[in-house]
Copies of this chain bind each other. A is one copy, B any other.
Amino acid sequence: MRLTPAQTDEIDAARAARAETRRPTVPALEDLLFKPLPVLDHGFVRVIDYMGDDGAIVQAARVSYGTGTKRVSEDAGLIRYLMRHRHSTPFEMCEIKYHVKLPIFVARQWIRHRTANVNEYSARYSILDREFYLPAPEHLAAQSAANRQGRGAVLDATESARVLDLLRTDATRSYDHYLEMLNEDAPHDPGRQGLARELARMNLTLNAYTQWYWKTDLHNLLHFLSLRADPHAQYEIRAYAEAMLTTVQAWVPAAYQAFLDYRLGAVTLSAGMRAVLRRMLAGEAVDQAGSGLPKREWAELMAALDAPPTGPA
């Protein structure tokens, strides 16, 4: 992650500001405010603003005149109850706003979550930075044989170098031609018209970085994180989800813990899986053939029973 001196100054100035407020305030999140958390090679996530805290969840659940909070343990118990029983509306009462710098192909996955507010840097209006994502060698993997939309073994060194060279060369050349077509910055050729920005941008590759402001409520954020911090999510978006989990932990620690227990670390068992489980608990030895479950569901049940609860390390 590189920032220009002007950007660093802007961030420092924002971090230096202080005001007095009657609003619920979370010191642990204030510490993180405006600070870019690096993700991938040039990306970041930073919290720009927030509304509410753990107390705002219980306040809304109780529709109270004041803060609505009682003892910390009672509040945490209520938050756990709400999370377990999927009472989602109290979690919608907290809101957070991020500034994110991310590769375009990641932005395309991310934007599929529709219940958020977004302002993206406009390449119709402005010129994108000369930055593109090049995976670290340990993230360059072959197509998975088992999963049609996943990764398998990491590429060997030769292949990895070859792939990285192609990615770097193509992204660089496409970007250079983008600037050349724009013909705006030095070296500016006064003998040529420049192509409109809204057109020139089509020459960029999908690993070019874009950036946006992204704002959502806690319920929808946790839904996003449950999908994107999941081991099945593509590594590149998962890296963003993991950085965001640290901000959630600082912001709403009770909701975060409930989320780990009842979402990230939870499993859903189908009617068929439950039937198998009852037989097993009754002492019966059940294998896949005798279970009545298709192979894939059987494997999922075994994983649910054997694996330690997942969650961020």
Contacts and interface: CB of A to CB of B under 8 A. Distances in A.
B49 A56 contact: yes
A63 B139 CA distance: 29
B20 A93 contact: no
Contacts of A49: 23-24, 51-52, 56
Interface in A235-263: 260-262
Interface residues of A, number: 143
B269 A10 contact: no
Contact of A143 (B34, B135, B174, B194): B194
Number of copies: 4
A64 B10 contact: yes
A228 interface: no
Contact of A122 (B24, B149, B199, B304): B149
Nearest to A33: B22
A297 to B, nearest CB: 7
Main secondary structure of the interface of A (DSSP, over half): mixed
B34 A22 contact: yes
Contact of A117 (B77, B89, B133, B271): B89
In this complex, the member of A25, A60, A271 whose beta carbon has the largest number of chain B beta carbons within 10 angstroms is A271
Given A20-B25, A195-B163, A205 B207 contact: no
B277 A202 contact: no
Contacts of A114: 114-115
Contacts of A15: 22
A283 B144 CA distance: 36
Contacts of A297: 84
Given A51-B49, A51-B97, A297-B84, A201 B206 contact: yes
User: Lowest 9 CB-CB distances: which A-B pairs, in order?
Assistant: A10-B66, A265-B271, A271-B309, A19-B25, A92-B117, A202-B207, A51-B51, A114-B114, A60-B119
11 contacts: A7-B66, A10-B65, A23-B50, A49-B51, A61-B119, A63-B99, A89-B117, A111-B111, A111-B112, A174-B174, A266-B269
